[in-house]
Amino acid sequence: MLIRTPEQDIERILFTEKTIAARVEQLGAELTEKLGHERPVLICVLKGASFFYIDLCRSMNCAIDMDFISVASYGASAKSSGVVRLIKDLDNNITGRHIVIVEDIIDSGLTMQYLRQLFSARGPKSITTVSFLDKRSRHPDSFKTDLCGFEIPDEFVVGYGLDYANYYRNLPYIGILKPECYK
């Protein structure tokens, strides 16, 4: 019996491991310059942003606090349900703190909008949003993030933390998944 490898399901690679690393370093330097003197709280949106989040935290040359939140809008589907559910809340109080929401991808923009509203109600000093990827064609400009790694086409992408049904997260690059794998 032949076992299929994840690479066989990839139509093409959008961003290599090397390209990703260079861009994450740039984003870390920008955040350090902007907030490095403030000891920001970086909030990882689990699970998809975890690879990006860890690399981003390591690329910042300043003191930071780390926290995690888990929300769901996809489940095992390739499309958002349109409803964001809070699964795990923050462990720390963010009142009066500079926070950075670190997201893997902005697709419809609903998750980021939900998180901005949730955190705004808790009285942070500032909210900065960072997404690794952004499908700008899929959401209004009002949903764009403060910092973005890469703009991408309206394709289903996996790798570097992004998944389909919890598969492909561990790929070291961003690739477009073949449609027959998720339809």
**How far, in Å, are 78, 129, 174, 180 from residue 183 at the CA level?**
8, 31, 19, 6
- As a whole number of angstroms, the distance between CA 161 and CA 102 comes to 13
**How far, in Å, are 28, 122, 145 from residue 9 at the CA level?**
31, 42, 30
**How far, in Å, are 101, 109, 114, 136, 157 from residue 143 at the CA level?**
13, 5, 10, 9, 20
Q: Is 107 a catalytic residue?
A: yes
CB 181 within 8 A of CB 20: no
- As a whole number of angstroms, the distance between CA 152 and CA 149 comes to 10
Exposure on the CB side of residue 176, measured as CA atoms within 13 A: 11
Q: Of the listed 9, 55, 104, 107, which one is catalytic?
A: 107
Q: Which residues are catalytic?
A: 107
